[in-house]
């Protein structure tokens, strides 16, 4: 199992800086997701690993070996395309065999390995079909088999679930993660869907404006976002400007922080707020909007700030939301759960 | 109500126009075929009887047979030249990245805007400047210029529809450029290349306007030979040759339809 390491990779197209000093480390056999909005550079980064994009600076290392100078056909990294890019004039078996055929492997070996690969994705009986005769989910499995049959060192997947409907997507995500664990291959996914990143990854790299803003395990990204962009992109977040004085915020419930005195931002997840009646220490406000979602109740509370604060509370059986216009107080469930960041990290 | 009346009138006009076009397109060919069976020595419609006499005359006419072979040879060469130049040109026009690409595209397709006669005369004058006489070679060159846009255009249309991601996929799976071209690109291009070849062949085979000016006087291609023949002969042999040519074109079309399907031609 080979590590994949990306070292200070940069790329510009004319005046547009697409990637800036991207660093990434994926340990052998682990799954890393490149997550970000469209245009953040995640696909360009993936394409540079495959060699489809030539970076201006930086290196790509697989198993400690620098592959930056190799042409795409000699990199031994497999790429699964967003639209699968199956060869329409070849059968499923011929598609899967393609990489072995161009390497001129003996015919018996090709047949055996194609059988194995198709078995791996549960398509053993479909070898004779053409891609056009397969469903979207089946086509995706063919693309994965075609990539894996070569026993590559790294598997790259560009939004592989985009073309599938919601039901199938979840099944395929779980199946793919199991398959990757079984064969133990270092994998890099590109996605703009945070739930997908949570399901699939050991580590998530959140990208924004051509940079990797944070690289960490999914829960750490959620609990300890390093910028307000990350906080807002992964899950929902209330972002409030605050002042730090003597190691605490100047908020109704002071939050301890190692930050120096001065302006800062505080990030509170909606589930870390609770709505309590009456006048206690906290943010006084008025219920602006309430939705009961079954398991939770979602409030928008107007606390005299430019944007209403969002609160998500577990719903007790039989209970309903408070009426619109009720005067309430917002309290932090845990002051440790609130995140205080410098103003510099506060771009959204 | 008025709407449906309007519709009905529109439909009637449309059907009328369709019938008229079919009549004008197919009618003359049918009449020529009918005339070719005339037993007597002059052109008459409807024919007075049924005879294969004039077909026999055609096959015994040494001059016509030579002209037919010349046309066959020339059309074959034009087809090869156009494929050899047109397919790479289409690649450059679609996949290439270089300055002046749109100018090159316009230039490649421009012969289509020019009457064949102009191309014929221009080639003739150009040749005269270098003391180059009308010959099979000049005929092949002038017809290639005339036919090249067909190939470029048909292949371009197909190439534009191909997913460039397939090339990347092929490279990612370990194939070199040549392997990708021969295993992935070419097979998908084949139907359009065959269609382009067939159209070029037919066009080069029965072109008169260009060939009139650039063909060798001693070895005329069939259409030019016929053009002169019509001026002195007025036997149904002319009709017999025409009927044979119609049949020849039909055979090419049927082969095309059988191998790649008519609906896929040009895609």
Tell whether A332 lies on the interface with B, counting CB pairs under 8 A. no
Is it the case that residue A75 has pLDDT exceeding 70?
Answer: yes
CA of A218 to nearest chain B CA: how many angstroms apart? Answer: 30
Q: Does B173 contact A150 at a Cβ distance shorter than 8 Å?
A: yes
Q: Would you state the pLDDT for residue A273? A: 93
Flag residues of chain B having pLDDT under 70. 1-3, 260-267
Which burial class, exposed, middle or buried, applies to B45 when counting CB atoms under 10 A from its CB (0-12, 13-18, 19+)? Answer: exposed
Q: Are B192 and B154 in contact (CB under 8 A)?
A: yes
Q: Does A73 contact B163 at a Cβ distance shorter than 8 Å?
A: no
The three-state secondary structure class of A314 is strand
Q: Does A103 contact B183 at a Cβ distance shorter than 8 Å?
A: no
Q: Does B163 contact A52 at a Cβ distance shorter than 8 Å?
A: no
pLDDT tens-digit series, residues A23-72: 999 999 999 999 999 889 999 999 999 999 999 999 999 999 999 999 99
Q: Does B163 contact A83 at a Cβ distance shorter than 8 Å?
A: yes
Q: Would you state the pLDDT for residue B175? A: 93
* B42/A105: higher pLDDT: A105
For A146, nearest residue in chain B (alpha carbons)? B173
Strands A248-249 and A296-302: unpaired
Which burial class, exposed, middle or buried, applies to B5 when counting CB atoms under 10 A from its CB (0-12, 13-18, 19+)? Answer: exposed
pLDDT band for A169, please (50, 70, 90 cuts): confident
Q: Please report the ipTM that was assigned to this predicted complex.
A: 0.82
Q: Would you state the pLDDT for residue A145? A: 94
- Cβ-based contacts under 8 A for chains A and B: 62
Q: Would you state the pLDDT for residue A203? A: 95
Give me the sign of the Cα torsion angle B34, B39, B40, B41: positive
- Judged by CB atoms within 8 Å, which residues 108-167 of B form the interface with A? 163, 165-166
Q: Would you state the pLDDT for residue B266? A: 46
Tell how many helices (H) and how many strands (E) occur in chain A.
8, 19
Residue burial A189-217, b: 16+ Cβ < 10 Å; e: rest: bbbbbbebbbbbbebbbbbbbbbbbbbbe
Map out the domains of chain B with their CATH numbers.
53-264 (1.10.3720.10)
Q: Would you state the pLDDT for residue A348? A: 46
Q: Would you state the pLDDT for residue B262? A: 59
Q: For the CA atoms of A95, A100, A101, A106, what is the dihedral angle to 10 degrees?
A: -130
CA of B186 to nearest chain A CA: how many angstroms apart? Answer: 11
Q: Would you state the pLDDT for residue B261? A: 65
Beta carbons within 8 Å of B244's beta carbon, 6+ residues apart: B55, B58
Q: Would you state the pLDDT for residue A347? A: 56
pLDDT band for A220, please (50, 70, 90 cuts): very high
- Judged by CB atoms within 8 Å, which residues 57-96 of A form the interface with B? 71-75, 77-79, 81, 83, 85-89
- CA A3 to each of CA A31, A62, A130, A147, A201: distance values in angstroms, whole numbers, following the listed order: 11, 6, 35, 18, 15
- CA A77 to each of CA A48, A107, A220, B149, B171: distance values in angstroms, whole numbers, following the listed order: 11, 23, 29, 41, 11
Percent of chain A with pLDDT over 90: 64
Tokens of A90: 């070849």
């Amino acid at each position: 199992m080979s590590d994949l390491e990306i070292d200070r990779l940069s790329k510009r197209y004319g005046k547009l800086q697409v990637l800036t000093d991207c660093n990434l480390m994926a340990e052998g056999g682990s799954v890393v997701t490149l997550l970000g909005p469209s245009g953040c550079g995640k696909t360009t980064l993936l394409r540079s690993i495959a060699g489809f994009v030539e970076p201006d600076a930086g290196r790509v290392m697989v198993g400690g070996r620098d592959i930056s100078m190799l042409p795409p056909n000699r990199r031994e990294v497999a790429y699964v395309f967003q639209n699968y890019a199956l060869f329409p004039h070849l059968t499923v078996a011929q598609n899967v065999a393609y990489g072995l055929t161009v390497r001129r492997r003996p015919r018996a070996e090709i047949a055996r390995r194609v059988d194995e690969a198709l078995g791996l994705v549960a398509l053993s009986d479909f070898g004779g079909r053409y891609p056009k005769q397969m469903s979207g989910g089946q086509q995706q499995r063919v693309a994965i088999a075609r990539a894996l049959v070569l026993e590559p060192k790294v598997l790259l997947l560009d939004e592989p679930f985009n073309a599938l409907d919601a039901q199938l997507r979840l099944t395929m995500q779980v199946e793919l993660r199991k398959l990757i664990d079984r064969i133990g291959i270092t994998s890099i996914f590109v996605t703009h869907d945070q739930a997908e990143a949570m399901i699939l990854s050991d580590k998530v790299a959140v990208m924004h404006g051509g940079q990797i803003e944070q690289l960490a395990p999914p829960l750490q990204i959620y609990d300890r976002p390093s910028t307000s962009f990350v906080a807002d992109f992964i899950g929902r977040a209330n972002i409030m400007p605050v002042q730090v004085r003597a190691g605490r915020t100047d908020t109704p419930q002071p939050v301890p922080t190692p930050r120096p005195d001065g302006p800062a931002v505080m990030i509170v997840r909606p589930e870390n707020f609770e709505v309590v009646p009456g006048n206690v220490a906290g943010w006084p406000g008025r219920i602006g909007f309430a939705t009961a979602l079954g398991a939770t109740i979602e409030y928008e509370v107007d606390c005299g700030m430019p944007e209403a604060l969002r609160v998500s509370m577990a719903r007790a059986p039989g209970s309903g939301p408070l009426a619109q216009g009720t005067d309430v107080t917002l309290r932090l469930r845990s002051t440790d759960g609130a995140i205080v960041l410098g103003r510099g990290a506060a771009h959204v | 109500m008025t709407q449906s009346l309007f519709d009905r009138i529109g439909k009637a006009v449309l059907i009328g126009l369709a019938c008229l076009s079919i009549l004008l397109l197919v009618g003359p060919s049918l009449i020529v075929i009918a005339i070719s069976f005339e037993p007597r020595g002059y052109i008459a419609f409807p024919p007075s009887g049924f005879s294969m006499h004039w077909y026999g005359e055609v096959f015994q006419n040494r001059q016509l047979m030579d002209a037919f072979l010349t046309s066959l040879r020339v059309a074959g060469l034009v087809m090869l030249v156009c494929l050899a130049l047109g397919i790479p040109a289409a690649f450059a026009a679609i996949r290439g990245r270089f300055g002046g690409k749109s100018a090159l595209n316009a230039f490649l397709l421009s012969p289509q805007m020019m009457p064949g006669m102009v191309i014929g005369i221009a080639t003739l004058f150009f040749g005269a400047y270098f003391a180059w006489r009308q010959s099979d070679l000049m005929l092949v060159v002038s017809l290639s210029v005339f036919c090249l846009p067909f190939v470029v255009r048909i292949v371009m249309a197909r190439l534009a529809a191909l997913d460039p991601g397939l090339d990347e996929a092929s490279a990612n799976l370990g194939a070199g450029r040549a392997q990708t071209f021969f295993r992935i690109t070419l097979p998908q291009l084949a139907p359009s290349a065959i269609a382009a070849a067939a159209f070029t062949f037919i066009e080069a085979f029965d072109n008169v306007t260009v060939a009139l000016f650039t063909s060798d006087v001693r070895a005329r291609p069939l259409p030019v030979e016929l053009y002169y023949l019509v001026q002195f002969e007025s036997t149904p042999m002319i009709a017999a040759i025409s009927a044979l040519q119609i049949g020849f074109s039909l055979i090419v079309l049927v082969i095309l339809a059988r191998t790649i399907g008519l609906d896929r031609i040009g895609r």
